[in-house]
Amino acid sequence: MSTPPSQRSNRPQSKKQRPSAKAAAAAAKQSPSASTAASTAASTTRAEPPPKSAPAKQSEPKGPPAAIQTIGLGKHYGDAPALHPLDVRIGAGERISLIGHNGSGKTTLLRMLVGMLEPSEGTANVAGYPIGSLEAKASISYLADTPVFYDDLTVWEHLEYIARLHGTEDWEQQAVDLVDMVGLMPRVDDLPMTFSRGLKQKAAIAMAFVRPFDVMLIDEPFVGLDRTGREALLELLKLAHADGATMVVATHELSSVK
């Protein structure tokens, strides 16, 4: 858009003030530097070009909001890398399988997302909150490859403690349904510390699902499980995903999570 005449910095002077062509030529002849000075003055008063417009802001990634996002997230112990810097974005409600051999960094990644391990580099968010924060931890339910239990609490007492801690409504009925589903009802008053690997896994499954969550992280869940336990876990995963939860399963048994 052109600048209005009243605002132009190099607008012509009025006829009364503007010298005639003959006077200008005579002045230039008398002082050779006058024309140079005049042209220099003219150039300094020339209108500046309009500023360049700022680059357009990049649009945000399309699709559902990220339930998990990592940027350069890595872990090493001295010179030994446990997880090379990783960039990943998992949308809310997605179901993801992490496939890899033992030692490939699957467990390390999950433990950092849960807040059990401090990253050596990079950042990550879960449900929009920094990993390790109370908000991020409250959003995650974690089913570990090696479940940990309190020595002096029974299965039922574990379920009650976890459910009450996370504000589960009608937790008793939900706990009964879960225990029955995994086939652990006859052992509900026993200490899980005394269980076999398979029974410990069943108890851990019930505890992982007795509380509300937005994201579930599962590490090698099928090791040691019998047929009843596998079928129960797959059904619980299906129901949770249908409810909108984000599911991340780390396993080497790809056929179990298809």
pLDDT digits (tens, 9 = 90+) for 104-129: 899 999 999 999 999 999 999 999 99
pLDDT reported for residue 258:
57
Give the mean pLDDT of the chain: 81
Q: How far is CA 31 from CA 27, 37, 39, in A?
A: 6, 10, 14
Higher pLDDT pick, 9 / 63: 63
Q: Tens of pLDDT along 179-237? A: 999 999 999 999 999 999 999 999 999 999 999 999 999 999 888 899 999 999 999 99
Q: Tens of pLDDT along 154-179? A: 999 999 999 999 999 889 999 999 99
pLDDT reported for residue 70:
97
pLDDT reported for residue 246:
97
Q: Would the pLDDT of 42 be above 70? A: no
What radius of gyration do the chain's Cα atoms show? 35
Q: Would the pLDDT of 8 be above 90? A: no
What are the boundaries of each domain within the chain? Answer: 66-256
> Mean of the pLDDT values across residues 3-19?
38
Contact 119, 75 (CB under 8 A): yes
pLDDT reported for residue 2:
43
d(CA 103, CA 97) in angstroms, rounded, equals: 16
pLDDT reported for residue 208:
97
Read off the pLDDT band of 254 (50, 70, 90).
Answer: low
pLDDT reported for residue 21:
41
Contacts of 52 (CB under 8 A, 6+ apart): none
Please state which CATH class domain 66-256 belongs to. Answer: alpha beta
Q: Is the pTM of the predicted complex or chain greater than 0.75?
A: no
Q: Would the pLDDT of 152 be above 60? A: yes
Q: Would the pLDDT of 7 be above 70? A: no
Q: How far is CA 94 from CA 216, 237, 241, 250, in A?
A: 11, 12, 8, 14
Closest listed residue to residue 224, CA positions, set 244, 238, 240, 204: 204
Contact 209, 166 (CB under 8 A): no
pLDDT reported for residue 224:
85
d(CA 224, CA 196) in angstroms, rounded, equals: 9
